[in-house]
């Protein structure tokens, strides 16, 4: 079924890399259908990626981004041998006659679930794995070189299962770099790490790019694309819609919106507030700093900032100390045993009181103690010292199973919440197990409210990422807890599903008295939370509302937090309180006019 190539003519890539004689990747008329599938995943793709470019591939779920990138290293069609027409050339040579192992030396690939890419017990062994397999004499030097290039030499003897998500990603990256590929494909590098670490990964990719490696990333976060990429490929419906230099690409907001890619906040701000940008006469700003400079003249007359508009969130203190206490941790110390021996302390003399009607965001860098605190509040672990009370009961005096009616803990990986063979059975598990009289109505009501009725008979594992979060929230809702604890509910979701989850969380407020979310996602903090607790090295570094947090550079730096762009721009403009959404800043600016 040869589909005629219908993609728009490919534009010249970013100005920084002049078209060379041999492009790194050249795709012509590529059509691909997975074995057993009923429709084509790629439909006539034409694409040319120059050597030395830094390309971001964007597009909605199911647009064929990952499949396209898997044609670069031969996984399509050599591993996934479906129907393929058209041609892919890597540095001028067709991939059709070359094996995946052969291409691996030229195109490195880091998968989206990179943790499963690590197959050896220690970091050094894993990084050396590919060069050893390919029989390269200098495998040891290559491994050392790759570790050094990413600055993770000190991890060399660590066990891969002990690494944090960010460290695992770097190890996977090093494992690909050990083959010294000239093209590196990274599928969603920022999906599961905190913003500071995502920036660090991109800085490393940028350095590799400067050293001559062609970098291709698949990315949902428009702000990262704006900051680091040189050109952008938009995929939609299995085709390349366009390939443009980043500044032009991000100015095409309508195309991006259509493909479910929200434009970066700085672009939205500039278009709303600067007529020249809106009319396309001036380039869009790509970073918060550039946007601040652009907008500064408009705000120059109002040094104290503009009055908070109706869009401003009430600070957490507005709930007042008079509402009922839901949970309380008093002078809590907790830690865990490590393989090497001594007990490490994660929480150190922490005190925290959670009250009725609070939406609490628990933030802090990886390892700050967020998950440990959630496990304590759920009664799954007991503190070494101090007390934890939930609903007035000391967690030492009741079992975790009994507490389950009061507090519900949703773990980070939704698959671990699916214990039955259908979503309905999972939702019904708790009320049925406790023999509640109205179980059936309750379950149907919850499924209906969470819009899960259609998929209720499917296994939760087979749902999309967004639906999985929806299903875990449904499980929580059916438990009717007073305190709901969530660990990273928005990680590795595309932005549409993420907004969806944030909306659901806001809706839950009427059923659940207090919700605590441990998160790296500052958009979630800005849009949803009324109170932010910043953890740092096992202590509470700050306990405030989002606007105050985003205006405190010292705390942000220490906890490695990166505020949403609109808050950065607001802080740069000297606004007080800092705006939390684009609409809020625009309203405030226009109210002033």
- Nearest CB to other proteins, comparing residues 135 and 554: 135
Using the contact rule CB under 8 A, the part of the chain among 75-83, 264-272, 353-361, 557-565 near other proteins is 75-83
Q: Which is nearer to other proteins, 279 or 401 (CB)?
A: 401
Question: Binding to other proteins (CB under 8 A): which residues in 398-437?
Answer: 398-402, 404, 409, 411, 413, 415-419, 421, 429-430, 432-435
Residue placing its CB nearer to other proteins in the complex, 387 or 548: 387
Which residues have a Cβ under 8 Å from the Cβ of 30 and sit 6 or more positions away?
A: 42, 44, 45, 46, 68, 71, 84, 85, 86, 87, 88
Minimum CB separation of residue 183 from other proteins in Å reads 13
Tell me which residues in 322-381 interact with other proteins (CB under 8 A): 336-340, 378, 380-381
What is the closest distance, in whole angstroms, from the C-beta atom of residue 543 to other proteins in the complex?
Answer: 27
Smallest distance from the beta carbon of 375 to other proteins, in angstroms? 9
Smallest distance from the beta carbon of 456 to other proteins, in angstroms?
A: 17
Say if residues 23 and 49 touch (Cβ distance below 8 Å).
yes
Q: How far is the CB of 256 from other proteins (least distance, A)?
A: 28
Q: How far is the CB of 125 from other proteins (least distance, A)?
A: 6
Q: Which residues contact 332 (CB under 8 A, 6 or more apart)?
A: 347, 349, 350, 351, 373, 376, 383, 385, 386, 387, 388
Q: Which is nearer to other proteins, 171 or 209 (CB)?
A: 171
For 31-57, b/e burial (b = at least 16 CB within 10 A) is bbbbeeeeebbbbbbbbbbbbbbbbbb
What is the rounded CA–CA span in Å between residue 567 and residue 592?
A: 19
Nearest approach in angstroms of CB 379 to other proteins is 9
Minimum Å gap between C-beta 221 and other proteins is: 22
At closest approach, how far in Å is the CB of 172 from other proteins?
8
Q: 462 is written with which tokens?
A: 């087979």
Q: Is the peptide bond before 124 cis (omega within 30 degrees of 0)?
A: no
Which residue is it, tokens 């996977």?
A: 172
Is the Cβ of residue 383 or residue 570 nearer to other proteins in the bound state? Answer: 383
Q: List the x/- string, 170-209, binding to other proteins by CB under 8 A.
A: -----x----------------------------------
Alpha-carbon distance values, 284 to 222, 227, 263, 279, 287 (Å): 13, 12, 11, 11, 9
Supply the minimum distance, in Å, between the C-beta of residue 233 and other proteins.
21
Nearer to other proteins, 191 or 266 (CB): 191
Q: Which parts of 91-110 interact with other proteins (CB under 8 A)?
A: 99-101, 104, 109
Neighbours of 83 (CB within 10 A): 13
C-alpha to C-alpha distance for 540 and 347, rounded to whole angstroms: 9
Asked whether the beta carbons of 424 and 432 are under 8 A apart, the reply is no
Chain-centroid distance of CA 380 in Å reads 27
Count CB neighbours of 517 within 10 A. Answer: 27
Q: How many CA atoms lie within 13 A of 549 on its CB side?
A: 33
Considering only residues 463 to 482 of the shown chain, the ones binding other proteins according to CB under 8 A are: 475, 479
Identify the three-state secondary structure at position 373: helix
In the complex with other proteins, which residue's Cβ is closer, 95 or 565? 95
CB of 116 closer than 8 Å to CB of 413:
no
Q: Which of 461, 506, 553, 591 binds other proteins (CB under 8 A)?
A: 461
Q: Which of 396, 445, 448, 503 binds other proteins (CB under 8 A)?
A: 396
Interface with other proteins, residue 293, by CB under 8 A = no
**Could you tell me which residues are beta bridge partners of residue 90?**
25, 93
DSSP bridge pairs for 345: 335
Nearer to other proteins (CB atom), residue 124 or residue 520: 124
DSSP 108: E
Quote the least distance from Cβ 476 to other proteins, whole Å: 10
List binders of other proteins among 113-142 (CB under 8 A). 113, 116-122, 125, 129-130, 132-137, 139
Three-state secondary-structure class, residue 348: strand
3-state secondary structure of 503: helix
Q: Which CB, 421 or 590, lies closer to other proteins?
A: 421
For other proteins, give the closer residue by CB, 1 or 339: 339
- Residues of span 22-51 touching other proteins by CB under 8 A: none
CA distance 192 to 194: 7
Total residues contacting other proteins by CB under 8 A comes to 72
Which of 397, 437, 438, 510: binder of other proteins (CB under 8 A)? 397
């Amino acid at each position: 079924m040869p589909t005629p190539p219908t993609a728009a003519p490919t534009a010249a890539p970013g100005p920084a890399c002049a078209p060379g004689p041999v492009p790194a990747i050249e795709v012509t008329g590529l059509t691909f259908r997975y074995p057993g599938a009923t429709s084509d995943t790629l439909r006539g793709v034409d694409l040319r990626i120059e050597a030395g470019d830094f390309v971001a591939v964007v597009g909605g779920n199911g647009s064929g981004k990952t499949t396209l990138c898997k044609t670069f290293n031969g996984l399509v069609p050599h591993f996934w041998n479906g129907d393929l027409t058209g041609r892919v050339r890597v540095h001028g040579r067709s991939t059709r006659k070359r094996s995946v192992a052969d291409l691996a030396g030229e195109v490195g690939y880091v998968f989206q679930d990179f943790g499963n890419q690590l197959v050896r017990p220690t970091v050094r062994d894993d990084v050396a794995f590919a060069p050893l397999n390919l029989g390269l004499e200098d495998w040891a030097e290559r491994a050392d070189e790759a570790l050094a290039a990413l600055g993770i030499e000190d991890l060399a003897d660590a066990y891969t299962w002990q690494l944090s998500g960010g460290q695992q990603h770097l190890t996977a990256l090093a494992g690909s770099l050990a083959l010294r590929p000239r093209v590196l494909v990274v599928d969603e590098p920022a999906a599961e790490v905190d913003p500071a670490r995502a920036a660090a990964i991109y800085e490393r990719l940028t350095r590799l790019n400067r050293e001559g490696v062609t970098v291709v990333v698949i990315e949902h976060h428009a702000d990262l694309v704006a900051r680091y990429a040189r050109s952008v490929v938009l995929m939609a419906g299995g085709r390349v819609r366009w390939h443009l230099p980043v500044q032009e690409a991000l100015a095409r907001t309508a195309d991006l919106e259509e493909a479910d890619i929200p434009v970066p906040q700085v672009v939205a701000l500039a278009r709303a507030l600067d007529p020249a940008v809106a009319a396309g006469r001036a380039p869009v700003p790509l970073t918060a700093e550039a946007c601040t400079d652009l907008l500064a003249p408009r705000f120059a007359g109002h040094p104290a900032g503009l009055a908070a508009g109706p869009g401003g969130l009430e600070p957490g203190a507005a709930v007042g100390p008079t509402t009922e206490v839901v949970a309380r941790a008093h002078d809590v110390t907790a830690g865990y045993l490590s393989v090497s021996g001594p007990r490490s302390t994660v929480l150190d003399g922490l005190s925290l009181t959670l009250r009725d009607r609070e939406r609490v965001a628990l933030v802090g860098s990886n390892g700050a103690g967020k998950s440990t605190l959630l496990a304590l509040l759920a009664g799954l672990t007991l503190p070494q010292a101090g007390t934890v009370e939930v609903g007035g009961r000391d967690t030492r005096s009741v079992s975790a199973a009994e507490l389950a009616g009061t507090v519900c803990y949703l773990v980070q990986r939704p698959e671990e919440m699916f214990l039955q063979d259908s979503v309905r059975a999972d939702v019904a598990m708790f009320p049925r197990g406790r023999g509640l009289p109205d179980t059936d109505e309750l379950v149907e009501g919850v499924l209906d409210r969470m819009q899960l009725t259609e998929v209720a008979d499917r296994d939760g594992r087979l749902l999309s990422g967004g639906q999985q979060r929806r299903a875990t929230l449904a499980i929580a809702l059916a438990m009717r807890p007073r305190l709901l604890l969530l660990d990273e509910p928005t990680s590795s979701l595309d932005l549409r599903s993420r907004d969806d989850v944030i909306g659901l969380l806001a809706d839950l407020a009427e059923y659940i008295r207090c919700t605590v979310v441990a998160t790296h996602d500052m958009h979630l903090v800005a849009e949803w939370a009324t109170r932010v607790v910043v953890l740092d090295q096992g202590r509470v570094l700050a306990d405030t509302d989002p606007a105050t947090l985003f205006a405190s550079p010292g705390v942000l730096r220490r906890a490695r937090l990166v505020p949403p762009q609109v808050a950065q721009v607001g802080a740069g403009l000297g606004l007080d309180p800092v705006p939390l959404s684009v609409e809020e800043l625009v309203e405030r600016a226009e109210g002033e006019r």
